[in-house]
Chain A
């Protein structure tokens, strides 16, 4: 290795302008997704956990086709919720290993951009997982979405977004705690109940009852809670990362 320094920065010093907020958000999200694509730590855990949940619940409910069909939305969101906890916790855990999260907070970007970058990565991951699991669940549980099938992806997108907002926020809050694995679900699930309720009810209206109007009402509630959580968590994120 060369020991000769080339001198500080051939390209000259920075001009003092920070990265744009959007560039920072995208860079952080891309970094998180790239890390996951390489390590596959979350992918293996969440796929395995989700598959076990779907199969075990199906076995537990036995041969009752009506019971299976009606329980499909709930089982889907149970699997997604626990996968979401793993995803959010791991997204901070990998950053903490060598002080990288500390370093991330030393760059001249707003704390909100850090939150939004992490959120974007977690949401994309959860949404894709949901889109993969939904057809598997429908087939395994013998359920049908009827003519308003397009509302199911909307439910998934809104439901996973609200869940990712709360999970990312609480994962940051508990990241430095010793009992973080236990505390994260304990703290976040009471808060995320409205999101899960809206998502499960909307999915149920579409899959079980095939009632698009009812699903629309739940989706409005879901979107409302998403908005409230998104604005609140983004606004106060700086409080949870400053010591």
Chain B
């Protein structure tokens, strides 16, 4: 199947490069650049020759039916999956050859949450901050930002799905990388949580963060989006809906 270019390049300013070492590749490079990316699991080709150029500072929603490959694409961009074919860059850094550089600029909010159940919310965030090389962080502020400060020292295994989702959001706010990848961010959240996420996305957009989120809540998520992309049959195209 041939590739369908989905160019959502725009005029939003690029996010500030994070550190001198990053400046060369980050400068003026698209946030996401896919050139003929394919991913195969066994005999099944999940992604086929994807092409996409997404400018820094843009927000895009990724829609598609279950199994369309949305999560696969997000995990691939987060360097958790290797493409079978093709080339992908994030802020100019090659996903396969410069994985550490890519990971410094990307965070993924996954469906599963990615939290350690036997650690407290605060310990989970502290681990994230340490492994990301943050200094001078304020865990209390990050937890308060998602309404989890009262349970900051409670083990995550006692949390509801929505609270775990909020903790994932707190980690994203704490790390605050230039590229946010979000897999069904509205799932499991109550109405207050969804409103909170709306505010976070609006703030991210206004600060020039690049966001690519897979969501079935199109009506809600599309309010913040510069483009809606659709994954179907392993191919990517810009959606008119």
Contacts and interface: CB of A to CB of B under 8 A. Distances in A.
Say whether A associates with B. yes
A107 B132 contact: yes
A10 to B, nearest CB: 4
B62 interface: no
Contacts, number: 174
A16 interface: yes
A105 B110 CA distance: 13
Given A10-B138, A14-B175, A24 B150 contact: no
Given A99-B110, A107-B128, A5 B203 contact: yes
A19 B131 contact: yes
Interface stretch (A32-40, A45-53, A67-75): A32-40
Interface residues of A, number: 46
B100 A108 contact: yes
A3 B192 CA distance: 6
Interface in B100-144: 100-101, 103-104, 106-108, 110-119, 123, 127-128, 130-138, 141-142, 144
A103 B108 CA distance: 8
Contacts of A24: 130-131
Contacts of B134: 11, 14
Interface size class of B (residues with CB under 8 A): 35 or more
Contacts of A64: none
Contact of B80 (A34, A35, A94, A102): A102
B104 A108 contact: yes
A103 B103 CA distance: 11
- 4 nearest CB pairs, A to B: A16-B19, A103-B114, A99-B112, A16-B18
